[in-house]
């Protein structure tokens, strides 16, 4: 499911700006249409009021000066018999005259084009008009899409006596206004479209500008490494907030380099301490029997003993053996500390591995090359060391098995050489698998635990890899991958 938090800051800024522009455009359009509609309504009302005022003035003038009939309710039909059509035509209004009870006396509808049936006034309108303080009622209605405004007022004689009810009806023709509104909206929409396209471009460049410095910082942070020298960030132009962030990053880099230096120094010192402990421990092992041998020789030495030569030879042999052990310890530490040189020469791997296996007399070892010949650019001596060490470990892992079985496979895979050594021995416990290549780690009762760590250094010096799969009680498979060139 897509989540907003997964969107980058640049996209968020870009979309936010577009949303604001779009929202502002919609609000302006809505307000414009609403204002246009309100102005139209006000204009229609004002126009109707002007027509109404002029019509009432004409009617009052007709009653006061131009008629020869007595100004009474019953004479209203005669007074406006023909005149009502002229007044209606001049002011473009529908005019109807009622008596005070709402009965129709005269109407201009007969001469008008609108097809509207003029009915007697309802009693509700008559009562509402009588109760209205302004003695005027304004009604709005819409019939078949056409809007009408209708007003009801009293007709008074010269003494302000009510003699009838005047109904003025104005048909609102807003087609022209609506046409203007549509044109205005179409032009405004075109302007908004152009403005929106400009806003897209502006938002894109602005969001890129805002996030450019942040992206630079982000890229530098991703490249930051503890064991490498990290570059500081230098920005020519940046906001104050970005400058604070850059200063914090540069300060962090300084602290990181200082911490890395301290850590490296601490690790070196710890490594030397561990190495010193290991060397001391390994040297003490042969020194103890050497001391005991010398003390025994000193205590039991008798020049007149008939077997003195045999005993002297035995003591000497014991000392020589322990000296050899110390020599092998020194050589092992020297080999481990010294990274193997990357000597490369073309060798035939199948025969070299067979040569390395020939020194073992165990019948449990089965050599199974999958190719007759396999050439690679490697160091022959180092390859022999790798094979020898892995096979020795396999022999020691199967020494208590009734039917030990060790298989050595050699084959090529694309541009790599693969060496697999499998055994059906005791396997490696899960809790020590992560430590198997650590220096001085060993699961054996004797030995210094430098073998696997040493050959791992050799393999990695040739850009190769070593891995293993093991199940306790079933056996182990070591896999070495080395490039052919």
* Cα pseudo-dihedral 369, 370, 372, 373, rounded to 10: -80
Equal fold, 4-179 vs 345-483: no
Q: What is the pLDDT of residue 477?
A: 92
pLDDT digits (tens, 9 = 90+) for 10-47: 777 778 888 888 888 888 888 888 887 888 778 778 88
Neighbouring residues of 174: CB distance < 8 A, sequence distance ≥ 6: 40, 44, 147
Q: Where are the domains of the chain?
A: 4-179, 288-337, 345-483
Residues lower than pLDDT 50 in the chain: 1-2, 111-115, 440-450
Q: Are strands 136-143 and 475-483 parallel, antiparallel or unpaired?
A: unpaired
Per CATH, domain 4-179 is 3.40.640.10: no
Q: How many CA atoms, within 13 angstroms, populate the side-chain half-sphere of residue 95?
A: 30
Kindly compute the dihedral angle of the four CA atoms of residues 379, 381, 382, 385, in this order, to the nearest 10 degrees.
160
Could you give the CA distance from residue 247 to residue 99 in angstroms, rounded to a whole number? 92
Tokens read off for 96: 């109807």
For residue 17, give both structure tokens: 């700006």
Q: Would you state the CATH architecture of domain 345-483?
A: 2-Layer Sandwich (3.30)
Enter the pTM of the model: 0.38
List pLDDT tens digits, range 38-95. 887 787 788 888 888 888 888 888 888 777 788 888 888 888 888 888 888 888 888 8
Q: Are 408 and 391 in contact (CB under 8 A)?
A: yes
- DSSP-derived letter for residue 479 is E
């Amino acid at each position: 499911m897509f989540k907003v938090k997964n969107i980058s800051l640049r996209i968020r800024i870009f979309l936010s700006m577009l949303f604001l522009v779009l929202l502002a455009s919609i609000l302006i359009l809505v307000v414009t249409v609403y204002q246009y509609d309100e102005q139209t309504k006000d204009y229609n009302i004002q126009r109707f009021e002007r027509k109404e005022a002029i019509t009432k003035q004409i009617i009052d003038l007709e009653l006061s000066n131009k008629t020869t009939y007595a100004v009474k309710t019953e004479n209203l039909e005669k007074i406006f018999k023909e005149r009502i059509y002229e007044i209606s035509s001049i002011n473009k209004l529908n005019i109807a005259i009622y008596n005070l009870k709402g009965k129709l006396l005269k109407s201009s509808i007969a001469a008008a084009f609108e097809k509207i049936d003029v009915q007697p006034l309802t009693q509700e309108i008559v009562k509402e008009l009588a109760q209205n303080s302004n003695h005027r009622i304004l009604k709005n209605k819409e019939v078949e899409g056409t809007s009408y405004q209708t007003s009801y007022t009293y007709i008074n004689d010269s003494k302000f006596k009510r003699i009838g009810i005047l109904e003025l009806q104005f048909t609102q023709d807003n087609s022209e206004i609506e046409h203007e509104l549509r044109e205005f909206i179409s032009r405004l929409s075109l302007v908004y479209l152009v403005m929106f396209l400009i806003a897209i471009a502006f938002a894109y460049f602005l969001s890129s500008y805002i996030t450019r410095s942040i992206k630079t910082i982000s890229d530098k942070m991703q490249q930051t490494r503890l064991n490498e020298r990290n570059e500081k960030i230098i920005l020519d132009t940046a906001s104050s907030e970005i400058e604070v962030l850059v200063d914090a990053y540069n300060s962090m880099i300084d602290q990181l380099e200082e911490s890395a230096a301290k850590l490296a120094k601490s690790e070196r010192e710890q490594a030397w301490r561990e190495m010193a402990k290991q060397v001391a421990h390994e040297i003490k092992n042969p020194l103890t029997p050497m001391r005991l041998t010398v003390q025994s020789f000193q205590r039991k030495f008798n020049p007149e003993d008939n077997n003195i030569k045999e005993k002297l030879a035995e003591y000497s042999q014991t000392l020589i053996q322990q000296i050899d052990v110390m020599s092998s310890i020194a050589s092992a530490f020297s080999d481990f500390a010294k990274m193997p040189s990357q000597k490369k020469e073309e060798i035939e791997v199948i025969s070299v591995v067979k040569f390395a296996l020939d020194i073992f007399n165990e019948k449990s070892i089965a050599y199974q090359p999958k190719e007759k010949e396999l050439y690679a650019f490697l160091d022959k001596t180092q390859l022999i060391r790798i094979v020898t060490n892995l096979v020795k470990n396999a022999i020691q892992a199967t020494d208590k098995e009734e039917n030990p079985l060790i298989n050595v496979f050699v084959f090529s895979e694309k541009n790599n050489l693969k060496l697999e050594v499998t055994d059906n021995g005791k396997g490696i416990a899960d809790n020590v698998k992560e430590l198997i290549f650590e220096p001085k780690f060993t699961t054996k009762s004797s030995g210094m635990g430098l073998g696997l760590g040493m050959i791992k250094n050799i393999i990695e010096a040739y850009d190769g890899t070593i891995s293993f799969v093991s199940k306790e009680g079933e056996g182990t498979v070591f896999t070495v991958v080395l490039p052919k060139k």
